[in-house]
């Protein structure tokens, strides 16, 4: 029976073609405040950095907040919302309906007044909903103890279809867990291995332990704290002034701090961290800064104030593969324009902010290349106003499923089998119209999903037919997942629609 199922599966297997890239990270709100000039003549105001334009456009915009930390656009690149951790601001640059007072408490009261911002380095991130194109989740930090250390990881939900397309907050300040988080918040996320759901991570304070939560069609779930204090490493008590990030393929997680960097392997199916590697800063000029990886996830980039370092993660001993690929050239813009947080752009480049409010951005033009060939250009972009010293926080929204893919939440069954279209003798694959395969005399059902795991339709297979077919002509080009259920067994397969 398993052979029959595998053969059948292949026939319908995987329509998983490369789906069109979404543009959820195409608008970057940077800068801060209302448009104006300081007594010394420096331009202030928000800046909308738009990757929908080529070259990238930079537009001055009045902000009702300072230093946005996160933003989200729809799949076509139209701005939906952004946040500095205190409120949700819509595409019209006004507080979204019910979007005020995120994370109320002492920290909010002290910092989140008019044009205020949350005093954390990475306090929030927007994620797309696993089962709706109009819903977006904002994961954010709330602090309220004596030291104003973040004490709650929370989430807020936006429905972009409300208020004639301006959007509204429909769920707010839902606590996922209460604990001491590292000063700075450091909330980041990556796709689940099924290509649809999400993993959300924030490290614990005074500790190397890490909190992990998930977002699925069933909602937000706290999966637990993973313990690494047993390693006996010295804890950086502040974990200040830095950044955390996943590699672009989601297989590694990095925590950069004032004293060290720790890299973990990450299992996108189970959400488990493992194999931590600690890199101390005693051999580098300054601890703490930014962290990012190249689009192909081979090269790790770290900033430490005066330098940009590159590490080859594919090297047998990547910890000792460091090359300095840039040294701060002393430029003032108007303050020291050194290197701080980083964020990969949708254009395949990496953008670096400075650790002061300056009017320049640094750019790594070819981050997939080794050594100096990566082309770090200092103050490559002159901005129309002073920028924030925080990089906007994005996930890799176009990260697909692992190969072979994980089981999709809510459909887990034992004895999952992944087969290939060649084994099934399916043809043609890729296809523009339909796929075909020979009958096996087994009654079964077929479910079709897109590359993100979204269910599209189901059909039954008649065991009396000599040849089966599946019409894909009305589908958009891309990669699709086929799920075959046969006598209590479940298998997954892929097919490409041209």
Predicted pLDDT of residue 147: 61
Predicted pLDDT of residue 150: 62
What backbone torsions phi and psi does residue 229 show, to the nearest 5 degrees? -70, -20
Do 49 and 25 touch, CB atoms closer than 8 A? no
Q: What angle do CA 491, 492, 495 make, to 5 degrees?
A: 140
What backbone torsions phi and psi does residue 115 show, to the nearest 5 degrees? 60, 25
Tokens 């008649």 correspond to 462
**Structure tokens that stand for 263 in this block:** 């890299």
What backbone torsions phi and psi does residue 165 show, to the nearest 5 degrees? 90, -5
Predicted pLDDT of residue 435: 72
Do 155 and 176 touch, CB atoms closer than 8 A? yes
* Closest to 141 in 3D by CA, of 171, 121, 114, 115: 121
| 8-state DSSP, 53 | S
Predicted pLDDT of residue 466: 57
Instruction: Kindly give the pairing relationship between strand 188-191 and strand 168-178.
Output: unpaired
| CA distance linking residue 308 with residue 364, whole number of Å | 10
Can you list the positions of beta strands (E) in 441-488? 444-450, 455-461, 467-471, 478-486
Give residue 300's Cα distance to chain centre.
16
Do 403 and 493 touch, CB atoms closer than 8 A? no
Give residue 37's Cα distance to chain centre.
35
What backbone torsions phi and psi does residue 140 show, to the nearest 5 degrees? -150, 165
The arrangement of strands across the sheet holding 307-312 comes to: 291-293, 299-303, 307-312, 323-327
Sign, CA dihedral 248-51-361-391, equals: negative
Q: What angle do CA 32, 38, 42 make, to 5 degrees?
A: 75
The per-residue pLDDT string of the chain (498 residues; one tens digit each, 9 = 90 and over) reads 233 333 333 333 322 323 358 999 999 999 998 999 988 889 999 999 999 999 999 999 999 998 999 999 999 999 999 999 999 999 999 999 999 999 998 888 888 887 788 888 889 999 999 989 999 999 999 887 656 566 889 999 999 999 999 999 999 999 999 887 655 678 999 999 988 899 999 988 777 889 999 999 989 999 999 998 877 676 665 556 789 999 999 999 998 877 788 999 999 999 999 999 988 765 454 556 899 999 999 999 999 878 999 999 999 999 999 999 999 999 999 999 999 999 999 999 999 999 889 999 999 999 999 999 999 999 999 999 999 888 999 999 999 888 666 755 444 333 334 444 444 455 677 777 877 655 555 556 677 777 766 677 666 666 656 566 778 888 888 888 777 655 545 566 677 887
Do 413 and 379 touch, CB atoms closer than 8 A? no
Q: Which residues, in sequence order, are CB contacts of 158 under 8 Å at separation 6+? A: 80, 81, 88, 96, 99, 135, 136, 137, 138, 167, 168, 169, 170
**Structure tokens that stand for 3 in this block:** 């052979």
* Closest to 355 in 3D by CA, of 300, 304, 308: 304
* Closest to 199 in 3D by CA, of 444, 492, 61, 396: 396
| CA distance linking residue 276 with residue 300, whole number of Å | 15
* Closest to 403 in 3D by CA, of 251, 177, 284: 251
Give the tens place of pLDDT for each residue, 238-247: 556 789 999 9
Say whether pTM exceeds 0.85: no
- DSSP-based three-state secondary structure for 487: coil
Give the tens place of pLDDT for each residue, 275-293: 999 887 654 545 568 999 9
User: 89-120 burial, b for 16+ CB within 10 Å, e for fewer?
Assistant: bbbebebbbbbeebbebebbeebbeeebbbbb
Instruction: Kindly give the pairing relationship between strand 417-418 and strand 489-497.
Output: parallel
């Amino acid at each position: 029976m398993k052979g029959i199922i595998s053969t059948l599966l292949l026939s319908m297997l995987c329509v998983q073609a490369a789906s069109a890239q979404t543009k959820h990270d195409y608008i970057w709100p940077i800068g801060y405040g209302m448009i104006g000039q300081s007594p010394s003549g420096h331009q202030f105001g928000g800046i909308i950095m738009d990757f929908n334009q080529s070259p990238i456009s930079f537009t001055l915009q009045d902000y009702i907040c300072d230093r946005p930390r996160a933003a989200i656009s729809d799949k076509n690149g139209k701005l939906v919302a952004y946040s500095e951790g205190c409120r949700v601001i819509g595409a019209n640059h006004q507080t979204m309906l019910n979007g005020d007072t995120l994370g109320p408490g002492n920290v909010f009261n002290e910092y989140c007044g008019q044009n205020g911002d949350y005093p954390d380095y990475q306090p929030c991130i927007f994620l797309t909903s696993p089962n709706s194109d109009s819903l977006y989740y904002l994961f954010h930090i709330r602090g309220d103890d004596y030291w104003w250390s973040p004490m709650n990881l929370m989430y807020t939900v936006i429905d972009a279809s409300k208020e004639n397309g301006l959007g509204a907050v429909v769920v707010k300040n839902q606590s996922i867990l209460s604990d001491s988080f590292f000063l700075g918040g450091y909330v980041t996320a990556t796709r689940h291995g099924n290509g649809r759901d999400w993993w959300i991570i924030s490290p614990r304070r005074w500790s190397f332990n890490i909190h992990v939560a998930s977002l699925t069609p069933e909602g937000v779930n706290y999966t637990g704290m993973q313990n690494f204090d047993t390693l006996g490493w010295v804890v950086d008590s502040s974990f200040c002034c830095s950044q955390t990030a996943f590699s672009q393929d989601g297989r590694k997680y990095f925590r950069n701090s004032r004293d060290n960097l720790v890299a973990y392997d990450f299992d996108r199916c189970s959400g488990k961290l493992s194999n931590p590697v600690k890199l101390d800063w005693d051999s580098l000029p300054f601890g703490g800064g930014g962290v990012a990886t190249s689009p192909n996830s081979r090269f790790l980039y770290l900033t430490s104030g005066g330098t940009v370092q590159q590490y080859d993660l594919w090297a047998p001993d990547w910890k000792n593969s460091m090359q300095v690929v840039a040294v701060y050239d002393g430029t003032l813009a108007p303050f020291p324009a050194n290197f701080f947080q980083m964020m990969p752009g949708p254009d395949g480049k990496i953008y670096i902010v400075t650790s002061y409010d300056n009017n320049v951005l640094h750019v790594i033009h070819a981050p997939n290349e080794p050594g100096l060939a990566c082309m770090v250009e200092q103050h490559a972009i002159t901005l129309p106003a002073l920028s924030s010293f925080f990089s906007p926080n994005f996930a890799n929204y176009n990260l697909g499923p692992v190969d072979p893919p994980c089981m999709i939440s809510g459909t887990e069954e034992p004895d999952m089998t992944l087969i290939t279209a060649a084994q099934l003798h399916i043809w043609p694959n890729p296809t523009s119209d339909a796929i075909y395969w020979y009958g096996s005399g087994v009654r079964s059902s077929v479910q079709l999903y897109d590359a993100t795991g979204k269910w599209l339709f189901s059909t039954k297979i008649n065991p009396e037919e000599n040849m089966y077919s599946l019409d894909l002509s009305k589908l958009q080009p891309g990669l699709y997942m086929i799920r075959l259920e046969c006598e209590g067994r479940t298998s997954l397969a892929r097919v490409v629609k041209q």
